[in-house]
A and B are shown apart, each in its own frame.
Chain A
Amino acid sequence: MPIHMITMPKWGLSMEQGQVNGWLKAIGDKVVKGDEILDVETDKISSGVECAFEGILRRQIAQEGDTLPIGALLAVVADAETPDAQIDAEVEAFQRDFVPATSADGESGPQPEKAQIGGRTVRYLKLGEGGTPALLIHGFGGDLNNWLFNHADLAAHRAVWALDLPGHGESGKALETGSADELADSVIAFMDDRGIDKVQLIGHSMGALIAMTVAAKAPGRVASLALISAAGLGKEINGDYIHGFTEGSNRNALKPQLAKLFADPGLVTRQLVEDIVKYKRLEGVPEALRKISASAFDGDVQRTSYRDRLAELAPRALVIWGAGDQIIPAAHAQGLPGDIRVHVLEGKGHMVQMEAASEVNRLLDDFLGR
Chain B
Amino acid sequence: MARKITFSQAINEALSQEMARDETVIVMGEDNAGGAGSPGEQDAWGGVLGVTKGLFHKYPGRVLDTPLSEGGYIGAAVGAAACGMRPVAELMFIDFMGVCFDQIFNQAAKFRYMFGGKAVTPVVIRAMQGAGLRAAAQHSQMLTSLFTHIPGLKVVCPSTPYDAKGLLIQAIRDNDPVIFCEHKLLYGREGDVPEESYAIPFGEANVVRDGDDATIITYGRMVHYATEAAEKLAKDGIQVEVIDLRTTSPLDEETILESANRTGRVVVVDEANPRCSIATDISALIAQRAFHSLKAPIEMVTAPHTPAPFAGVLEDMYIPSAAQIAEAVLKVRA
Residues of A in contact with B (beta carbons under 8 Å apart)? 170, 173, 249-251, 270, 275, 278, 281-283
Contacts and interface: CB of A to CB of B under 8 A. Distances in A.
Contacts of B196: 170, 173, 282-283
Contacts of A250: 201, 204
Contacts of B75: none
28 contacts: A170-B1, A170-B2, A170-B194, A170-B195, A170-B196, A173-B196, A249-B201, A250-B201, A250-B204, A251-B207, A270-B210, A275-B1, A278-B1, A278-B162, A278-B194, A278-B198, A281-B166, A281-B198, A281-B199, A281-B200, A282-B194, A282-B196, A282-B197, A282-B198, A283-B196, A283-B197, A283-B198, A283-B199
Nearest to B166: A281
Interface of B: 1-2, 162, 166, 194-201, 204, 207, 210
Nearest to B200: A281
Contacts of B1: 170, 275, 278
Contacts of A282: 194, 196-198
Nearest to A14: B1
Contacts of A170: 1-2, 194-196
Q: Kindly list the 3 A-B residue pairs having the minimum CB-CB distance in the complex, ordered from nearest.
A: A281-B198, A283-B197, A282-B198
Nearest to B237: A65
Contacts of B195: 170
B171 to A, nearest CB: 15
A205 B195 CA distance: 28
Contacts of B199: 281, 283
Contacts of A275: 1
Contacts of B207: 251
A310 to B, nearest CB: 35
Contacts of A281: 166, 198-200
Contacts of A249: 201
A2 to B, nearest CB: 36
Given A278-B1, A278-B162, A281-B200, 20 more contacts: A170-B1, A170-B2, A170-B194, A170-B196, A173-B196, A249-B201, A250-B201, A250-B204, A275-B1, A278-B194, A278-B198, A281-B166, A281-B198, A281-B199, A282-B196, A282-B197, A282-B198, A283-B196, A283-B197, A283-B198
Contacts of A278: 1, 162, 194, 198
A270 B196 CA distance: 23
A101 to B, nearest CB: 20
A275 B2 CA distance: 11
A42 to B, nearest CB: 15
A246 B2 CA distance: 22
Contacts of B204: 250
B160 to A, nearest CB: 12
Nearest to A283: B197
Nearest to B234: A65
Contacts of A173: 196
A329 B195 CA distance: 37
A281 B206 CA distance: 14
Nearest to B196: A282
A333 B194 CA distance: 38
B246 to A, nearest CB: 12
Nearest to A275: B1
A173 B198 CA distance: 12
A366 B32 CA distance: 62
Nearest to A281: B198
A270 B208 CA distance: 10
Contacts of B210: 270
Contacts of B198: 278, 281-283
A251 B255 CA distance: 11
A250 B204 CA distance: 8
Contacts of B2: 170
Contacts of A283: 196-199
